[in-house]
Structure 1
């Protein structure tokens, strides 16, 4: 037998235990094929059915219309930082970027290779502690798209309401909060997400693209950088990351069994409240990095009175089976990543540990 820890790493991140057990049970014999899913040809009908069902489940969970295509790519969100402007931005046009964290900043920097980039807002001077108010957004006159990062893994902030950009398509990096809450997909021309935080293991990147935006893509690109290539070939132009897609399929099945996105959102709110309540009631011993109205439900970032206490906290938490709590170097302190797969019990264990640590060290 084995003992599982509570894994608060930001990515690759914890996966639902039933998903891991299901993958284990059919690792060498997928759906009575006599082969592992890692061995099955991506050209086989059995694999293609699996991939198609993965796309269908994602569309059901997010209530995505038939005018969207779901693609399975590689290269992570980092490749999408370049692939989006490569397909839709030209030297004579402008794209607007909302810079509210490191990954949003990296995406804006990549876009500058392909066309004009207008920074509609930038909260870097405040160390990305908050999501801006709508009145702060200064859009350019005619952007081809508006890009944002929906959840900031490093800083622990999250867009709780997406900006209204009229007919201009929103493009979003949702790597760390996709499927964590319901939202209206229709304003988005393109959504991308690396799987390793909230969808599955590392290796596959999900892209959801609206057909009207796809029609505007630059056709004069190398074949592997065109979204149209993967639409035309059902993401099977080259060998896709088959095992990672299979794991996403299992995660989506698990999510449906939990009651879907609405149910998981309610649980995510309850989980996050356990930890934020300890921070707010600690008398300043725990200090949240993010402003309260910008707090993320996925990544809780906080500081202690000294770096020595923070190091002590991480050591003591690790001894208690609470793993991966050290904060990113950009923020310091502590970070608890509590994606969909993190259980309520795991968050309660952390909250109880925080109370005990405060009692002994406050």
Structure 2
């Protein structure tokens, strides 16, 4: 990717592939000779139906989603799913949650409104995913956030859930960055705005045997069985966000890197980008990452300046160098580089070069 645009390390809404943005711009006033922008189309018209069907088919192909999973295009974001999941799956019973950071902690708090929640394990401030989990055989499901956007913790392998307890995974910030072992998953969900597309679209992958369990209080538009029965058209879906996400899926399918193509190429580049950045941080005397190497995220890399008095200077200099939105989340401070699929290797190389230059001046 060659561009004069700055490199945007935002955690979400986040950077999008430049070819996708250019195609959106070209099609803004007239999609494929229809005389309409996608934003103006009926969600039930043949034009948009074709867009949605292709997006779903491409997503299913990219992630090798089995036939017994339904893909739902919904709204509400990952935070909304923290309520929608227990309303659909908990049956008012037991839910186990492994806390690995801020998002799984929010998931547990929200699920308590609808279920008996047990914290099966808690990472605390250790920076290492706990190994010993206290799990209940009769839990309705086990919840994991498989990539913590704020804390930079990622599960590199999914656990095998015991006794048939469904595994629910929040994949918001690493969706489409790597394959998923669907044999270990009952339901996966994620907001699009971190690694797939613009804000407004939430994708849910639900195994068919888990449909039809919703609590009576669950709104119809959030009932997975209802949404699945209407092919995600029970209410007006986030049409423009689906369209842009569909273009991203096409971009991923055609992506080439290191002799690979598609999701395999995306994953290989993500591994290389993360390695390059972590190696620079680990070799530094000015910066530090506090997550154990065994569970460091490939997507979200939080780091801290050991001299925090330099934080504002660092951010100002980074912006002047064309490196945007590196400030860490307000709850943890420091810095964070989100290096999603659309962040090219050149962007990480530019960041590493800046890190070294800044340390030479201030270290």
Shift in Å at residue 358 of structure 1? 1.2
CA distance in 2, matches of 1:269, 1:202: 26
Aligned residue number for residue 104 of structure 2: 104
CA distance in 1, matches of 2:183, 2:334: 38
Q: TM-score, normalised by structure 1?
A: 0.95
CA distance in 2, matches of 1:205, 1:179: 14
CA distance in 2, matches of 1:85, 1:49: 32
Count residues in correspondence.
Answer: 355
Secondary structure class of the residue paired with 2:301:
strand
Aligned residue number for residue 275 of structure 1: 277
Structure 1, unmatched stretches of 5+, are none
CA offsets per residue over residues 248-274 of structure 1, 9 Å max, x none?
A: 000000000012221111000111111
CA offsets per residue over residues 9-50 of structure 1, 9 Å max, x none?
A: 101000000000011111111111111111111110121111
Shift in Å at residue 291 of structure 1? 1.5
Matches within 5 A, 1:329-348: 329-348=330-349
Shift in Å at residue 314 of structure 1? 0.9
Shift in Å at residue 130 of structure 1? 2.5
The answer to whether residue 140 in structure 2 is matched with residue 137 in structure 1 is no
Whether contact under 8 Å (1:77, 1:205) holds in the other structure is: yes
Secondary structure class of the residue paired with 1:55:
helix
Matches within 5 A, 1:153-232: 153-166=149-162, 167-218=164-215, 221-232=218-229
Secondary structure class of the residue paired with 2:200:
coil
Structure 2, unmatched stretches of 5+, are 256-260
CA offsets per residue over residues 325-361 of structure 1, 9 Å max, x none?
A: 0111222111000000000000000001111111111
Aligned residue number for residue 306 of structure 1: 307
Secondary structure class of the residue paired with 1:31:
coil
Aligned residue number for residue 258 of structure 2: none
Whether contact under 8 Å (1:155, 1:289) holds in the other structure is: no
Aligned residue number for residue 119 of structure 1: 119
Aligned residue number for residue 317 of structure 1: 318
CA distance in 2, matches of 1:189, 1:16: 30
CA distance in 2, matches of 1:221, 1:81: 13
Whether contact under 8 Å (1:62, 1:185) holds in the other structure is: no
Whether contact under 8 Å (2:159, 2:184) holds in the other structure is: no
Whether contact under 8 Å (1:156, 1:289) holds in the other structure is: no
Whether contact under 8 Å (1:28, 1:36) holds in the other structure is: yes
Whether contact under 8 Å (2:41, 2:48) holds in the other structure is: yes
Secondary structure class of the residue paired with 1:289:
coil
Whether contact under 8 Å (2:96, 2:117) holds in the other structure is: yes
Q: TM-score, normalised by structure 2?
A: 0.95
**Alpha carbon RMSD of aligned pairs, Å?**
1.3
Aligned residue number for residue 357 of structure 2: 356
Aligned residue number for residue 6 of structure 2: 5
Whether contact under 8 Å (1:53, 1:249) holds in the other structure is: yes
The answer to whether residue 240 in structure 2 is matched with residue 252 in structure 1 is no
Secondary structure class of the residue paired with 2:138:
coil
- Runs of 4+ in structure 1 over 6 Å off: none
Secondary structure class of the residue paired with 2:278:
helix
Aligned residue number for residue 48 of structure 1: 49
Whether contact under 8 Å (1:145, 1:171) holds in the other structure is: yes
CA distance in 2, matches of 1:265, 1:328: 25
Aligned residue number for residue 95 of structure 2: 95
Whether contact under 8 Å (1:219, 1:226) holds in the other structure is: no
Secondary structure class of the residue paired with 2:80:
helix
CA distance in 1, matches of 2:240, 2:107: 28
